[in-house]
């Protein structure tokens, strides 16, 4: 397969996960490392990056034109898939994973690879929690919700204060960027930034490191090619957690 060209796939199942998130299953499997992404082409609308939540699925939060159009698709309709691309998570023997909202999607295949000892899972409310039953089958899941509807009342970052990070040899994080920035501050304080990895989501055009639309300050790292998974050491002095960029490259405060 020429990885620069989209492969047409047919939707075989569309599963509603939460009021704002659906998983789209297709008739082709892709070999990938947890944390890698694909470029998903929605015919007539746009092509956008999405993490694989399994070898034959992407889990999508309705947030823009392309994802909104995907929510109108039905089984039997088609998408274009290009990839997988980028750098995935570095696996360890005893891993801690921290997921917030739809950030649980790239952590699901990591948990299924039998290397995650504990997963801290957060969402605004119980109804927005992703993959609780599936994750429970693979790891020890500890939950926090902003409104206290399930698990600890508070943020997923509050759960980090109650565990012993020294137990784990690697930490994988994915979720809203302010949450991940808070985790970076916490792990940096205890000297664990180098063994903690964060999955970034940025606007992308090419997905293969050519166009530069996903570059981040201060070193110009390309999220599509050098990431989307970066170590905390790489991100400490970057724009991570402070601002993102729109399609024109203009900075947008988070």
**CA distance between the termini of the chain:** 38
- What residue has token string 């999955």? 199
- Contact (Cβ atoms closer than 8 angstroms) between residue 193 and residue 240: no
Three-class secondary structure of residue 112 per DSSP: helix
115 is an annotated ligand-binding site residue: no
Distance of CA 231 to the CA centre of its chain: 14
224 is an annotated ligand-binding site residue: yes
Q: Number of helices (H) and strands (E), helices first, in the chain? A: 6, 17
215 is an annotated ligand-binding site residue: no
- Contact (Cβ atoms closer than 8 angstroms) between residue 62 and residue 14: no
Three-class secondary structure of residue 215 per DSSP: strand
- Euclidean distance between CA atoms 196 and 43, whole angstroms: 37
Strands 140-145 and 152-153: parallel
Eight-class DSSP state of 219: T
Beta carbons within 10 angstroms of residue 148's beta carbon = 12
- What residue has token string 């996903």? 214
Q: Which residues are annotated as a binding site for [2Fe-2S] cluster?
A: 206, 211, 214, 224
Annotated binding site: 206, 211, 214, 224
């Amino acid at each position: 397969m020429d990885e620069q060209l989209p492969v047409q796939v047919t939707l075989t199942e569309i599963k509603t996960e939460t009021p704002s998130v659906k998983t789209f299953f297709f008739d082709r499997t892709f070999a990938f490392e947890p944390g890698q992404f694909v470029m998903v082409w929605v015919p007539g609308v746009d092509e956008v990056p999405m993490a694989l939540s399994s070898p034959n699925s992407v889990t999508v939060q309705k947030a823009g034109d392309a994802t909104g159009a995907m929510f109108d698709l039905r089984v039997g309709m088609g998408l274009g898939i290009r990839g997988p691309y980028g750098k995935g998570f570095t696996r360890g023997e005893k891993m801690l994973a921290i997921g917030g909202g739809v950030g649980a999607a790239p952590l699901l295949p990591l948990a299924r690879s039998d290397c995650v000892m504990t997963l801290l899972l957060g969402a605004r409310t119980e109804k927005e929690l992703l993959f609780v039953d599936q994750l429970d089958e693979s790891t020890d899941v500890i939950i926090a919700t902003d409104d206290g509807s399930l698990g600890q009342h508070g943020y997923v970052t509050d759960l980090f204060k109650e565990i012993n990070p020294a137990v784990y040899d690697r930490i994988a994080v994915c979720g809203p960027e302010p949450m991940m920035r808070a985790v970076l501050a916490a792990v940096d304080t205890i000297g664990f930034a180098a063994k903690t990895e964060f999955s970034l989501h940025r606007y992308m055009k090419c997905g293969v490191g050519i166009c530069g639309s996903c570059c981040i300050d201060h070193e110009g790292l390309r999220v599509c090619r050098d990431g989307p998974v970066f170590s905390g050491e790489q991100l400490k002095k970057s724009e991570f957690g402070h601002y993102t960029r729109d399609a024109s490259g203009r900075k947008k405060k988070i």
